[in-house]
Amino acid sequence: MIQSLNKDQLQSLSKFRLVSECTDALIKVSGTSLVKTEKLKVVLMSLQEYLALPSLKVAASIFVKRYSFFILMHFYALSVWRKRLRLSAEDIELEVGNERERLWIPSFYASAVLYEMVPQANHLSSLEAIIETHIAPIFHQLQSLTNIPQKVMWENLYVYVKWMYEQLLKDDTLASIHKSIQADYDYLMDEAQGASFGTVHNPFKQFHSLQGKRQTCCYSYCMEKKKYCSNCPILNDQKEEKRNESNVSRAI
């Protein structure tokens, strides 16, 4: 039976930037623009211009990092509530408000959020469906439009998925369901097959084995503040080069 999330549940999803009331946002992007290639290109071009990014490829990477929070809503609802959200990209509007405008950090507006309960027998397939329905198609569009490597996008998303599940497993109020949350986390990180991701292998599995070491650069250093992420492989390579140079100097 299809039902609507209640006020408390909507509030819980607000941590992933869900809003249920329209704001006076300076920038609004219809979710339908995300599922049609030509309209998605316009969104990326607008993002590129707004943040003064050097290419559409960089814009695509930044977009994936922002869009990841929409994906987290789905994983959270399924792992914590056993609810499958009936909320597609077409059902939302991205709204960028005043305080976040310079970083283009959107909220996700939906007038209502519907769901259906998921029986245990369908739980794993529902996890896979989130990937197949809400992630893989848009990643393929982004790659087609910008030539951004799939690996960059999957690692961008992986960072947020990992963060969310680790937070859930630290939450004492969820102690009674930690075992099932851990099972979902393990499935996504290790057991899910590549076919669900539209790839040969599960991309999360490779990243997870590196224990926090990032393989790809998300291009955040191309933004206005030109800051590298703390685990950026470029930054780490530079540090390694300096260490090697220092060791050589001492040896001489």
Domain span including residue 70 = 3-251
Helices 56-76 and 123-130 pack at an angle, to 10 degrees, of 160
- Residues 217, 236: Cα–Cα separation, whole Å: 11
Nearest C-alpha neighbor of 66 from the set 128, 9, 36, 108: 108
pLDDT in tens, the chain (252 residues): 899 999 999 999 999 999 998 878 888 999 999 999 999 999 999 999 999 999 999 999 999 999 999 999 999 999 999 999 999 999 999 998 765 567 899 999 999 999 999 999 999 999 999 999 999 999 999 999 999 999 999 999 999 999 999 999 999 999 999 999 999 999 999 999 999 999 999 999 989 887 767 888 888 888 766 677 777 877 755 554 444 444 444 455
DSSP E strands: which ranges in 40-153?
Answer: 83-86, 93-96, 107-109, 114-117
Query: Cα separations (Å) of 54 from 143, 156, 234?
Result: 17, 19, 18
Any idea what the Cα angle at residue 74 is, between residues 228 and 176, rounded to 5°? Answer: 100
pTM for this prediction: 0.90
- Residues 216, 152: Cα–Cα separation, whole Å: 6
Q: How many domains does the chain have?
A: 1
